[in-house]
Amino acid sequence: MSARYSLAIGIAVTALAAAPCADAATADEVKAEALFRDGMQKFDTGQVAGACAAFTESLRLDPKLGTLLNLALCHEKQGKLATAWLEYNTGAAWATQNAQKERREFANGHALTLEGQLSRILLQLPPARELSSVEIDGEPLPEPRWYLPLYLDPGEHAIAVSAPGKQRRTVKVVVPREPSAQLIPIPTLLDAPLPTDAGPPKTRTAGGGSAPEAGGTQRTVGLVVGGAGIAGLTAGAIFGILTIKKRDDSAAHCAGSVCDAQGVQAHDDAQTLGLVSTIGFGVGAAALVTGAILYFTAPRGGVQATLGPRGATLSGVF
């Protein structure tokens, strides 16, 4: 068989394989658009819960930035301020990457407004640091975030902790509607009782090992990457403030373009801090968007997750 004939067969097979996927994608986009319009109509008529559900399903089928921002508005209206705050920050980072100034300013403005209204908790972990996993409302929390303040929506939440050879423990937390800060003690885990019999066999995958929850690993990676993105944005903001301070210090020691030694040093420091701030914002925005995509598009039990940041453009969003 000639190389040209082999290539032609390969192209034909690829085209045949890709056609159903393209059709499915088109069907999802059509359904997502219908759900989006349904969500807009319900939101305008005060059916907030139904609107949020429609926007969420639209995002699952066809992630786009416009729908994410509308979902954030919906969750804000619903009183889920921590969820809305995260969605606004994700949307702002997404808009920054796509040079969409108006959407970035819209998302940043809402995120800043909500920030002072958020409730947070801080986990007080056992001294032995014996834990192997921490979950909040059934979702795994990456270890680097165990030691950081966590923003939660008002209402009751379940914090589950586990460790090898220990009894799993669940701690209930009630977050008030008013801004609050709570220190949540996590008790030392008790030893697990020794098994009395082998019990039923565990379900195994083809390659061995217990069958993992669909999408669990992808969501965990998404949380880690997204957490790093938030840290990067925070660092960018901090270094941005320091940059402004150093520029003010430099101006106080300069007359026109002539500066004394302290003014020159302050100017150089401002340049360095400004560069670090810019890098922090850039890296943080990219990591936050990547983490959101990984988390929100991870499958759950054979289907995709119920949320995902929308793409770059959407007509008729606002």
Residues 179, 151 contacting (CB under 8 angstroms): no
Structure tokens at 64: 């786009």
CATH number of this structure's domain 119-185, picked from the four choices 3.30.1490, 3.30.420, 2.60.40, 1.10.1760: 2.60.40
pLDDT at 5: 32
Model pLDDT, residue 315: 34
Model pLDDT, residue 9: 27
Task: Quote the pLDDT of residue 256.
Answer: 56
How far apart are the C-alpha atoms of 110 and 76, rounded to whole Å? 9
Residue holding tokens 């977050």?
Answer: 175
pLDDT at position 1 is 43
The residues, any chain, with a CB within 8 Å of residue 210's CB and separated by 6 or more, are 202, 203, 204
Token pair of 216 as six digits? 């669990």
**pLDDT in the model for residue 305:** 35
CATH architecture classification, 3-115? Alpha Horseshoe (1.25)
pLDDT (0 to 100) of residue 137: 95
Q: What is the 3-state secondary structure (H, E, C) of 295-317?
A: HHCCEECCEECCCCCEECCCCCC
Half-sphere exposure of 209 (CA within 13 A, CB side): 4
Q: For residues 68 and 295, what is the distance between their CA atoms, to the nearest angstrom?
A: 14
SS3 137: coil
Fold match between domain 3-115 and domain 119-185: no
Decide: residue 190, CB within 10 A, 0-12 exposed, 13-18 middle, 19+ buried: exposed
Q: Are the C-beta atoms of residues 106 and 114 closer than 8 Å to each other?
A: no
For residue 190, the 8-state DSSP code is P
- In this prediction, residue 104 carries a pLDDT of 95
Task: Give the largest CA-CA distance in the chain.
Answer: 84
Distance CA 123, CA 135 (A): 12
pLDDT, residue 301, reads 45
* Cα–Cα distance, 314 to 318 (Å, whole number): 10
Distance CA 106, CA 104 (A): 5
Report helix, strand or coil for 283. Answer: helix
Cα 273 → chain centroid: 27
Task: Enter the tokens of residue 23.
Answer: 């059709």
Every domain of the chain and the residues it spans? 3-115, 119-185, 216-300
Instruction: Give the span between the Cα atoms of 66 and 317, in whole angstroms.
Output: 6
Instruction: Classify the C-alpha dihedral 221-313-54-104 as positive or negative.
Output: positive
CB-CB contact of 179 with 186 (8 Å): no
Nearest of 83, 75, 223 to residue 152 by alpha carbon? 83
Give the pLDDT score at 288: 65
- What would the two tokens of residue 58 be? 């639209």
Residues of the chain with pLDDT below 70 are 1-25, 197-229, 231-251, 253-318
- Give the β-pairing of 299-300 and 303-304: antiparallel
pLDDT of residue 312: 34
pLDDT at 185: 94
